Amino acid sequence: MFDTSALQGITGLFVFVAIAATLSQNRGQINWRLVFSAIAMQFVICVAFTKLGFLQQALAALNDGVQALSRASTQGTSFVFGYLGGGVAPFEVKDPHLMVTLGFQILPLIIVISALSALLWYWQVLPLLVKVISGFFERTLNTRGPAALVAVINIFLGQVESALMVKPYLAKMSKHDLLLVMTAGMAMIAGSMMVVYAAMLGPALGDDMGGILGHLITKSIMSVPASILFAHLLIPEKRLAHPDSEASAKTPVQRPYKSVMDAITRGTSEGLSIYLSVVAILIVLSALVALGNDSLAWVGLQFGYSLSIQGIVGHLFAPMAWLMGLPWDQAITGGALLGVKTVLNEFLAYLDLIKLPASALSHHSRLIMIYALCGFANLGSIGIQISGLSAMIPERRDELNALAWPSFIAAILASCMTGAIVGLVT
């Protein structure tokens, strides 16, 4: 029987690009050479990191640095919050995963990163990184440095922490660059979550933790050109005739801090402000989703149907799952996973993936879904993006609100494209 998954995946690539081009603010300025170059770069990355084992091992080693930072943060949270912050529990713990608290263990990393990034700015380390990384992306994908740097940092750090690394550049970024920052933040996951998901997903693919970790890192690296691609499609921007007229890696930046202690104290204060904003918006959005599900459940009960936000969005995403290469009899299941990821988060979607019976998805389909679900593109992340970035550049809050939905759509399309490509390569 003829396998149509390759044809589906190729069709999906064209459809995903067509969706973004249709929503573009200026289709006449789209650089199609950049579009095809970004797609080709994703194929090259996918082939290299799924076929060459030594590259996967090298990338896994880089992730050790992020884990060291996460462990250091846990030392602080456990000292302040005790076992709620990751310290030793005063009772027997049967399932350690249930002891992980978002507010007391994961999100406090924002405060640590804020203080550390302030120090690195004071020591002129980050401006140097901006210049080095921007040179590569300006030559390959015609993208200016600060926004491209955020896209790269997102491979290992979260969306708010990555933006903190280029905070002095944010205020002068163009709308396209802000869109790229927001898109990249939602198209990937934080490096600290990769190990958690690798441990969770190993049994789902019958692979070890290191193999799954390699796939998650590969997906995040592929998401850099994917994010650049869809940000360009939605808000095309040509290279400036005079790049020094806007924020660029070549623009000298004055030290925003006067001393080491000034950097630490101000960085900590700024991080705390962002942390509180993120916690508040997550509480509100989670509550609104719950209220929406309760309302739909009541309406469905009147007509004899079971309705939920996840179920409705899941059916809407079934064609997207098919375009990534899933057979139609598995696309409904894949679409439901995408719906859970989009409405709630990827953590719950991965848990649902693990719980699926072996007959629900083939090994190939599960691998595609692992790539497609690997990202922060959900309703909660919209609030995180707006609250986190608004705390850093409050004068551009209206622009951030306007870019929230375009970045959300771009991140979803970027993740789906990486899923289609890994389906074609493997």
Residue range 158-187, pLDDT digits in tens: 788 788 778 888 888 889 989 999 999 999
- Band of pLDDT at residue 245, cut at 50, 70 and 90: very low
- Band of pLDDT at residue 32, cut at 50, 70 and 90: very high
Residue type, 149: L
Quick: pLDDT tens for 62-86: 556 666 777 788 888 888 888 777 7
The H-assigned helical ranges of 52-108 are 53-81
259-266 long-range contacts, Cβ below 8 Å, gap at least 24?
Answer: 259/122, 260/119, 260/122, 262/122, 263/115, 263/118, 263/119, 263/121, 263/122, 264/115, 264/118, 264/119, 266/118
Enter the DSSP assignment of 236. Answer: -
Instruction: Estimate the share of the chain in helix, then strand, then coil, as percent rounded to the nearest 5.
Output: 80, 0, 20
> With the C-alpha atoms ordered 302, 303, 308, 312, is the resulting torsion angle positive or negative?
negative
Instruction: Judge contact between 343 and 309, C-beta under 8 A.
Output: yes
| Residue 319 CB-density burial (10 A; 0-12 exposed, 13-18 middle, 19+ buried) | middle
HEC profile of 329-354: HHHHHHHHHHHHHHHCCHHHHHHHHH
Residue 210 pLDDT > 80? no
3-state secondary structure of 365: helix
Of the ranges 58-67, 86-95, 198-207, which is most confident?
Answer: 86-95
- Band of pLDDT at residue 248, cut at 50, 70 and 90: very low
Quick: pLDDT tens for 375-398: 999 888 888 888 889 988 999 999
Lowest mean pLDDT among 65-79, 131-145, 188-202: 131-145
Task: Give which of 422, 380, 420 is closest to 19, Cα–Cα.
Answer: 420
Mean pLDDT of the residues in the chain: 82
3-state secondary structure of 95: coil
Comparing 11 with 286, the larger pLDDT belongs to 11
Place of tokens 């015609």: 142
| Residue 267 CB-density burial (10 A; 0-12 exposed, 13-18 middle, 19+ buried) | buried
What are the extents of the domains in the chain? 5-425
What is the model's pTM? Answer: 0.78
Quick: pLDDT tens for 33-50: 999 999 999 999 899 888
Residue 278 pLDDT: 73
Residue 273 pLDDT > 90? no
